[in-house]
Amino acid sequence: MGVNSNIVITGFMGTGKSEVGLEVARRLGREFVDMDALIEQRVGLTIPEIFAQHGEPFFRQQERKLCYELAQKRGLVIATGGGALIPEENRRVLGASGVLVCLNCDVDEILRRLAQAEDRPLLNVTDRRERIEALLAQRREAYNRIPHQIDTTGLTVEEVAEKVIELLVQKIVVRTPTGSYPIHLGNRLLKRIGELAREQGLKGKVALVTNPTVEELYATTVMESLREADFEPAVCQVPDGEAYKTLDTVRSLYDQFIEAGLDRSGAVLALGGGVIGDMAGFAAATYMRGVPLVQVPTTLLAMVDASIGGKVAVDHPRGKNLIGAFKQPRLIVSDPLVLNTLDEAEMRSGWAEVIKAGMLGSPRLFEQLEERGNEPALSVIAEAIRVKVAVVEEDPYEREQRAVLNLGHTFGHALEVLSGFRLRHGEAVSIGLVAATKMAIALGLCDKGVEERLLALLQRFGLPTCYEGYEPEEIWEAMATDKKKRGKKLRFVLPKAIGQAVVTDQVPKAVVLEILERLRER
Ligand SMILES: NC(=O)c1ccc[n+]([C@@H]2O[C@H](COP(=O)([O-])OP(=O)(O)OC[C@H]3O[C@@H](n4cnc5c(N)ncnc54)[C@H](O)[C@@H]3O)[C@@H](O)[C@H]2O)c1
C-alpha cells in the first residue's frame, strides 16, 4: 500500500466502523470521512428519514456517487455504511484508491452494541437477531471479498485501530548496481522477519548481531520469527555504544560467527541502531569474503539513514568510520513500534535527520512535519526513507550527489568534535542546518522564509538552533582540519529552497565566520 492510499473501513452495523475509523485517522494524523454522516449532511436528512422519504435505492445511489468522489482523493480514512461495499462496483472503485478492511463481530455482540440504536432503519423489526442473521447471510459473500478482515469481538476501539494500522505495510525497493532489495516498513514487522527473509531467498544459519540493550527488548521476537521460518539463528552480542564500533569488536564477531557455524549460505542480521548496523554490516562484508546482510534498524536515525545505502564501517582512533566497505543489504525491515522504547534524546537525534531529509529532498515531508509534529507516523518515516533512497540510487558509491546528504553536517561534525561528542549528533546537525541556511541566505541562494520555517520546526522538535562555548575561528579550524585529514576540499551543502540543496566550495571564509558569529548564543 502506498504512503497516501486511502484506508477504507467497512463491515456490518455495530462492528465499530466509525469509531475505529476516527481513531485510526487520529493516530495517523489523517482526515476522516464517515460516509453515512456525509450523506446525511448533504441530503439534509437523517438516514432513517432518507429511507422513509426517498427509499433505499436513492440512498444506495448516494453511496455509489460518494464512492466515486472519495476514490479521487488520497490520504483519507473512510468509514463506509454497512451496505456501501456490497455492490462489486463500489468495492472496485474504492479498492483502487487504497486498502479495504472489513470489521467482523459475532451476532451476540452486535446485538449488545446496537441495543440502544434507534437510527438503523434496517433494524426496525421485532426480532432483531433474526433480521441481523438474515442480513449477514445476505452480505457474507460480499464482505468475504474484502481483502483484509478483522474480528473485533471482545476488542476495544483502540485495539481494533491498532490492528488496522498493522495492515499498513510499505515496501520501498532500492535499486543498486548489484541488484535491488526491499525495505519493508510497518508496525509489528519484527514478528514477520523470518517470513520476509525467506521471501528474499535466505536460509540456514543467521548470526543475529545486537547489543544487550536491544537484545533484552527485541531479540526473542526476532529469534522466534526466524525459527518459525526454519532458520537456525544464534545471538552474537557486542557491547553497547559508539566506543565499541571498532575492529576489535568486529574480531569478536568473527569469533562468534565461526562458533555459530555461519558460512556463506547463511546471513548476518543486524538488530539495533546505526552502530550495530555499521559494525555488523562491515563484519558481513568481510567474513568469508561476504555473507548476506539483513538490516533491522531499531532507532529512528538507523531507519531513515544508517541502514540505507550500503555504507558500513568501524571507527579508527584517528577518525570516525575510517575503515569500511560498501555492502548492500538483502533486505531491510523497519518496525516503527520499536521506537516506543527509544529514549527522547535518541528520538530527537533521529528527527534532526528526518528534518534534514525534508530540507534536502522533500517539501512534502517538511510540511508533514510542520503539520503533525513528532509522532513517528509511518508516512513520515517512509517519506524520509524515500529521500535517502533517491539519493543513494543516483550515487551508489558516494562519488558526487550523495554529498547533499551532508546538509548540516559540515558545521555539525565540527561542533560534535569540539564538544568531545557531548553534543549529540542530531543536535549538532540541527545547529548545522541553521548555519547552512543562514549562509545560503547570505549568499543570495535562498530566501529568509526558509530560515523562519526551519527555526520554527527545529524548536518544535526541541532541537538546538545555536551554540555556545566556542570561537568561530575554532569551529572553522575544526571543519578545515577534518577535511584536510581526509584530503578533501571544504565543501558546503546549502539549501536553495525547502526540498532543494546544492553543493558548493565557493564560500569565502569571512562569510562562514560571520555566520558562526551570528549563531553564538549570548
Ligand atoms: N552507514 C551510514 O550510512 C550511516 C549513516 C548515519 C549514521 N551512521 C552511524 O550510525 C551510528 C549512530 O546510530 P544511532 O543514532 O542509531 O545510535 P546507536 O546505534 O548507538 O543507538 C543509540 C542507543 O539506543 C539504543 N537503542 C537502539 N534501539 C533501541 C530501541 N528500539 N529501544 C531502546 N534503545 C534502543 C542503543 O543500544 C544505543 O544505546 C553512528 O556510528 C554513525 O556513524 C551510519
Q: Could you please report the per-residue DSSP string of 235-272?
A: EEE--SSGGG-SHHHHHHHHHHHHHHT--TTSEEEEEE
Which ligand 1 atom is at minimum distance from the Cα of 312?
1
Q: Are 248 and 273 in contact (CB under 8 A)?
A: no
SS3 state of residue 151: strand
pLDDT digit string (tens) for 216-257? 999 999 999 999 999 999 999 999 999 999 999 999 999 999
pLDDT of residue 123: 73
Confidence of residue 377 (pLDDT cuts 50, 70, 90): confident
Residue of 188, 237, 484, 213 lying closest to 343 (CA atoms): 213
SS3 state of residue 273: coil
pLDDT of residue 43: 96
pLDDT of residue 144: 92
DSSP class of 514: H
Q: Are 407 and 495 in contact (CB under 8 A)?
A: yes
- pLDDT of 443 strictly over 50: yes
- pLDDT of 120 strictly over 80: no
- pLDDT of 373 strictly over 80: no
Q: Which residue has the higher pLDDT, 119 or 245?
A: 245
DSSP class of 39: H
Instruction: Determine if ligand 1 sits within 6 Å of the CB of residue 417.
Output: no
- For ligand 1, the distance from its centroid to the CA atom of residue 305, given in whole angstroms, is 10
- For ligand 1, the distance from its centroid to the CA atom of residue 241, given in whole angstroms, is 8
- For ligand 1, the distance from its centroid to the CA atom of residue 466, given in whole angstroms, is 24
Give nearest CA residue, ligand 1 atom 34.
342
Element housing 136 (H / E) = helix 128-144
Instruction: Determine if ligand 1 sits within 6 Å of the CB of residue 211.
Output: yes
pLDDT of residue 375: 67
Instruction: Determine if ligand 1 sits within 6 Å of the CB of residue 273.
Output: yes
- For ligand 1, the distance from its centroid to the CA atom of residue 298, given in whole angstroms, is 8
- For ligand 1, the distance from its centroid to the CA atom of residue 274, given in whole angstroms, is 4
Contacts of 519 (CB under 8 A, 6+ apart): 431, 434, 435, 438, 466, 467
The number of angstroms, rounded, from the C-alpha of 517 to the middle of its chain's C-alpha atoms is 36
Helix axes 344-361, 363-372, angle to 10 degrees: 140
Going by DSSP bridges, is the β-strand pair 170-176/76-79 parallel, antiparallel, or unpaired? unpaired
- For ligand 1, the distance from its centroid to the CA atom of residue 105, given in whole angstroms, is 43
Instruction: Determine if ligand 1 sits within 6 Å of the CB of residue 367.
Output: no
| Mutate which of 278, 296, 404 for ligand 1 pocket (most atoms within 8 A of beta carbon) | 278
Contacts of 447 (CB under 8 A, 6+ apart): 441
* Mean predicted lDDT score pLDDT of the chain: 92
SS3 state of residue 172: strand
Instruction: Determine if ligand 1 sits within 6 Å of the CB of residue 392.
Output: no
**Please, which residues bridge with residue 124 across strands?**
none
Q: Report the alpha-carbon distance of residue 56 to residue 124 in Å, rounded.
A: 14
- pLDDT of 392 strictly over 80: yes
pLDDT digit string (tens) for 40-61? 999 999 999 999 999 999 999 9
- For ligand 1, the distance from its centroid to the CA atom of residue 273, given in whole angstroms, is 3
- For ligand 1, the distance from its centroid to the CA atom of residue 347, given in whole angstroms, is 10
pLDDT of residue 2: 47
- pLDDT of 32 strictly over 80: yes
Confidence of residue 27 (pLDDT cuts 50, 70, 90): confident
Q: Are 191 and 163 in contact (CB under 8 A)?
A: no
Q: Report the alpha-carbon distance of residue 310 to residue 322 in Å, rounded.
A: 15
pLDDT of residue 403: 87
Length of the chain as a residue count: 522
Q: Cell 576489535 sits at which residue?
A: 248
This prediction's pTM: 0.79
DSSP class of 341: G
Contacts of 384 (CB under 8 A, 6+ apart): 304, 305, 353, 354, 357, 358, 362, 365
Which ligand 1 atom is at minimum distance from the Cα of 278?
1
- pLDDT of 28 strictly over 80: no
- pLDDT of 484 strictly over 80: no
pLDDT of residue 293: 98
Phi-psi region of 423 (alpha: psi -120 to 50; beta: other; left: phi over 0): beta
- For ligand 1, the distance from its centroid to the CA atom of residue 515, given in whole angstroms, is 30
- pLDDT of 487 strictly over 70: no
Confidence of residue 420 (pLDDT cuts 50, 70, 90): confident
| Mutate which of 176, 213, 275 for ligand 1 pocket (most atoms within 8 A of beta carbon) | 275
For the ranges 144-158, 196-210, 452-466, which has the lowest average pLDDT? Answer: 144-158
Q: Which residue has the higher pLDDT, 69 or 112?
A: 69
Share of the chain above pLDDT 70, in %: 97
Give nearest CA residue, ligand 1 atom 27.
273
Which ligand 1 atom is at minimum distance from the Cα of 213?
37
- For ligand 1, the distance from its centroid to the CA atom of residue 336, given in whole angstroms, is 14
| Mutate which of 222, 295, 299, 392 for ligand 1 pocket (most atoms within 8 A of beta carbon) | 299
| Mutate which of 183, 240, 301 for ligand 1 pocket (most atoms within 8 A of beta carbon) | 301
Instruction: Please report, as a single letter, which amino acid is at residue 330.
Output: R
Instruction: Determine if ligand 1 sits within 6 Å of the CB of residue 103.
Output: no
- For ligand 1, the distance from its centroid to the CA atom of residue 277, given in whole angstroms, is 8
Instruction: Determine if ligand 1 sits within 6 Å of the CB of residue 305.
Output: yes
Instruction: Determine if ligand 1 sits within 6 Å of the CB of residue 332.
Output: no
- pLDDT of 195 strictly over 50: yes
- pLDDT of 136 strictly over 80: yes
Instruction: Determine if ligand 1 sits within 6 Å of the CB of residue 240.
Output: yes
26-35, 150-159, 324-333 — most confident range = 324-333
pLDDT of residue 1: 47
Confidence of residue 4 (pLDDT cuts 50, 70, 90): low
- For ligand 1, the distance from its centroid to the CA atom of residue 175, given in whole angstroms, is 24
